[in-house]
Amino acid sequence: MADTKYIFVTGGVVSSLGKGIIAASLGKLLQARGYKVTIQKFDPYINVDPGTLNPYEHGECYVTVDGHEADLDLGHYERFLNIQTTKENNITTGRIYQNVIQKERRGDYLGKTVQVIPHITDEIKRNVKSLGVKSKFDFVITEIGGTVGDIESTPFLEAVRQLRWELGRNCFCVHLTYVPYIAAAGEVKTKPTQHSVKELQSLGIQPDMLVLRTDRYLNKDILDKVALFCNVEQGAVMQSVDVSTIYEVPTMMQKQGMDEVVLRKMNMPVEGSANLDAWKNFLQKRKNAKKGVCIKLVGKYAELPDAYKSINEALSQAAIYNDRKLHLDLCHSEKINAENVEETLKDADGIVIAPGFGQRGIDGKYLALRYARENDIPTFGICLGMQCMVIEYARSVLNIPGANSSEFDPKASDKVIDLMEEQKHITNMGASMRLGAYDCAIKKGSLAYKAYGKTKVSERHRHRYEFNNLYKERFEASGMKCTGINPDSELVEVVEVPRLRWYLGTQFHPEYNSTVISPNPLFMSFMQAAAELHDEK
């Protein structure tokens, strides 16, 4: 087998240029040529993982099948490549240091002084290479978080510099920069790109390819000028113009020959082309969708769309496969009250009650759920959303006014949602939830079964609290059925109310398992119900 090839993606000028999307698009193109590809993200912050970060800091926390709390870019990698990532695909400075310090305490360094170079950089390099070797990938793409010039990312870039020497032509560097348009001058400016490349060169890294992020088309003269000033081959300067959906980026890059340049420069065969038929079919469907569907997402981070990234993407994929244009409206749960709940939700064809932690905005979620239930609007409760569904149902239908979750009231008279036994003695907050993929047995004949078409599924979790089985019989007798159960622990994973058209909650997060090529069945089924309601109106 040929050696694994390593591609690094760095960014300059400003953050938020979409390095993750460029890395995922390049990965997609190589994968669509038949190569086995994975993508890894290095985050320069000191947190050991992003699980302890709140969404205001870093957007959604993504969860991998093996239970790692990860950066949201891993969600892009999975959605683009239809692969599953693991703990090894997301490494932070904190984790690198934690590993090195553990080795030092064990005495592994045999009395040496432990330093950033070589010990931290060696640990970074080990994490890059072990991913490629272990799973025999043809390509490992590594995205370096942050911006070139940041103090934090320097050790990672030093490791890339060393790897270039070690790997020779098996290593390739892509640098993403920003080309702003200055309205007063009526011109786009390439100077920030030139400075950013200089910064990278001063760290010993010569990029092989540049991707210029821009809000308008750049002509060939500009690309050639950048190539000349930055020591990059003509034809290896790509542009990433703003597009209406991130899913157009792979085809935009393909048109510019991105994958061909990479393969040629890495001494690999360039014949043929990436087969993006299924991908293009998805884009075509998106374009052709005429009818709409209105989904209201009720959560406390309504002003922060990145907080619900995977839900937004899963909804948009499901809408496209149901031939609908999605109108997604984020409703702030803290702002919903008895007076405005109808006004807020009356246009909804479907309602999603978001996951989350803590009491803030909970009452708005109960009001939204009551409105949805009483007006028979398709409703999907995810994790905390499912727990709220259970609590609202207990209070309104089972007549248990004291029903609550012990997360909100540890002294509640009826803890219909309670802390899991194994969570009761946990003191450390990091990586200590019920995390990752667990099996779930789906009851035949249920709505969940109709959606999945099978009795055994596996979905990802991130929670501490759970449905309290002591109340199960009462719920079932009053019309809320437990239709998804963990076969080992008996934990309730899915509840639904069959007398309503689509009213279902999941303790797991199906949004983490929804890709462009393979949308999640529950989201598909929910969207279909919402589309039907839309057409009835």
**SS3 of 504, please?**
strand
Shortest Cβ 127–ligand GLN spacing (Å): 28
Which window, 158-166, 228-236, 353-361, 513-521, contacts ligand GLN (CB under 6 A)? 353-361
For residue 456, what are the β-bridge partners? Answer: 441
Residue nearer to ligand GLN on the CB measure, 48 or 383: 383
10 Å CB burial of residue 166 (0-12, 13-18, 19+) is: exposed
Find the DSSP H helices in 50-107.
Answer: 55-58, 73-81, 93-106
Which window, 212-220, 238-246, 250-258, 349-357, contacts ligand GLN (CB under 6 A)? 349-357
- Residue 300 within binding range of ligand GLN, rule CB under 6 A: no
Contact criterion met (CB below 8 Å) for 435 and 462: yes
Q: Site for ligand GLN (CB under 6 A): which residue of 164, 462, 472, 534?
A: 462
Q: Site for ligand GLN (CB under 6 A): which residue of 97, 109, 229, 357?
A: 357
**SS3 of 490, please?**
coil
Based on the residue annotation, tell me whether 511 is a catalytic residue of this protein: yes
Tokens describing residue 151: 């103090």
Residue nearer to ligand GLN on the CB measure, 460 or 481: 460
Q: Site for ligand GLN (CB under 6 A): which residue of 27, 146, 207, 356?
A: 356
Q: Site for ligand GLN (CB under 6 A): which residue of 80, 301, 371, 465?
A: 465
Shortest Cβ 523–ligand GLN spacing (Å): 17
Kindly state the number of chain residues that form the binding site for ligand GLN, as judged by CB under 6 A.
10
- Residue 384 within binding range of ligand GLN, rule CB under 6 A: yes
Find the radius of gyration of the CA atoms of the chain.
25
- Residue 355 within binding range of ligand GLN, rule CB under 6 A: yes
Based on the residue annotation, tell me whether 509 is a catalytic residue of this protein: yes
Based on the residue annotation, tell me whether 76 is a catalytic residue of this protein: no
Residue nearer to ligand GLN on the CB measure, 229 or 357: 357
- Residue 309 within binding range of ligand GLN, rule CB under 6 A: no
Residue nearer to ligand GLN on the CB measure, 355 or 519: 355
Give the per-residue SS3 of 114-160.
CCHHHHHHHHHHHHHHHHHHHCCCCEEEEEECCCCCCCCCHHHHHHH
Instruction: For 71, list phi and psi in degrees, rounded to 5.
Output: -65, 150
Pick the catalytic residue from 76, 119, 509, 534. Answer: 509
Stated as kind and residue range, the H or E segment containing 527 is helix 521-536
- Residue 68 within binding range of ligand GLN, rule CB under 6 A: no
Q: Site for ligand GLN (CB under 6 A): which residue of 125, 463, 472, 534?
A: 463
Residue nearer to ligand GLN on the CB measure, 294 or 353: 353
Angle at 146 between CA 431 and CA 170, to 5 degrees: 95
DSSP assignment letter at 113: P
Phi-psi region of 231 (alpha: psi -120 to 50; beta: other; left: phi over 0): left
Residue nearer to ligand GLN on the CB measure, 462 or 534: 462
Tokens 């909970």, located at residue: 362
- Residue 45 within binding range of ligand GLN, rule CB under 6 A: no
Which window, 181-189, 254-262, 354-362, 435-443, contacts ligand GLN (CB under 6 A)? 354-362
Strands (E), 314-407: 325-332, 350-353, 379-382, 403-405
Residue nearer to ligand GLN on the CB measure, 15 or 359: 359
- Residue 464 within binding range of ligand GLN, rule CB under 6 A: yes
Find the DSSP H helices in 213-330.
Answer: 220-230, 249-255, 258-265, 277-288, 309-321
Residues with catalytic function = 383, 509, 511
Binding site for ligand GLN (CB under 6 A): 355-357, 383-384, 407, 462-465
